Amino acid sequence: MAAADSDRPEESAPRATRMPRAAQAARSADAPTDPQVAGRRLLDRFDVVLVLVLAVIVIQSLVDTTGSIRGSFISHSVTGLALIVASRASAARPRVCRALDVLVVATVVGNLLLLIPASRGDQVSTGSSQAQSIWLAAELVLPVIIGRRVLQHRVVGVQTVLGAVAAYLQIAVTYATLFQTIDSLSAQPFFGEAVSTTVYTYFSLVTISTVGYGDFVAVTNLARLAATSEAVIGQVFLVTFVAFIVSRFAAGPSRQQPPPSATPSATPSAPPSAPPSAPSE
């Protein structure tokens, strides 16, 4: 009986040490967390954020939303999901998360309501579903909150590096929305002629990577300013922020730990001397 009882703790030990991936990511990063967001399941799960940002880039590169309710519904649904997950992973404040939730739900439901009459062959105005300026306000927040959370990691791990990469790619997604917003608000087209919405994502990725193929060129002064600012911000972010995170990751955990507050003395202290003995008579 004694041997059987001694084996029970060993069998239940692996189950007790199992933790959700979000808790493992937050604990390995050793980052301070607000108690209001400490229990989030997606906290510091920047691998999920990166996958969703890549999905947004792929969909916006393939789906043309010009006059298409179905295309807008697909694009806004995936983009909205990426916004929600990124806000939770970055430990954003509850009010920021609620604001993003309301924006995403309102936009997706609005596109869904427009999709029903469009499927019946009715003529539907797509102006309300193409509110890119509203998405732009939400997407501008994401690289900031992701970068702020990544810098809070005391120990740089895989999730930290993935978060930095996700923030970098999110800048390209944000500028694609900015280009489309400028085009919709300007009298002259962004590229001098009407193009599909997939071109904005392509042009943003080409600009932030400073490839410069030259097949699409910004023609207005405001468009040129936006394009050059993306090239500068993207390269500065890449060679400073991302390079700093990757270098800390390559240094290893031993060099990332902060120095202890109290260091032991270099020379050991001398043992206390024995009290003098009383003189013998």
Per-position pLDDT tens, the chain of length 281 = 455 454 554 444 444 345 567 677 767 777 777 777 777 788 899 999 999 999 999 999 999 988 778 888 888 889 999 999 999 999 888 898 998 899 888 888 877 877 766 565 555 455 543 456 777 888 888 899 999 999 888 888 889 999 999 999 999 999 999 999 999 888 899 999 999 999 999 999 999 998 988 899 999 999 999 999 999 999 999 889 988 888 877 776 655 555 444 444 444 455 555 555 555 44
Give the pLDDT confidence score for residue 264 in this predicted structure: 47
DSSP alpha helices (H): ranges in 120-242?
Answer: 132-151, 158-185, 198-208, 221-236
Give the pLDDT confidence score for residue 75 in this predicted structure: 87
Give the pLDDT confidence score for residue 118 in this predicted structure: 57
The enclosing H or E element of 98 equals helix 94-119
Q: Using a CB cutoff of 8 Å and minimum separation of 24, what contacts does 33-36 make? A: 33/91, 34/91, 34/93, 36/93, 36/94
Q: pTM of the prediction?
A: 0.77
Give the pLDDT confidence score for residue 206 in this predicted structure: 95
One-letter amino acid for residue 176 of the chain:
A
Give the pLDDT confidence score for residue 128 in this predicted structure: 40
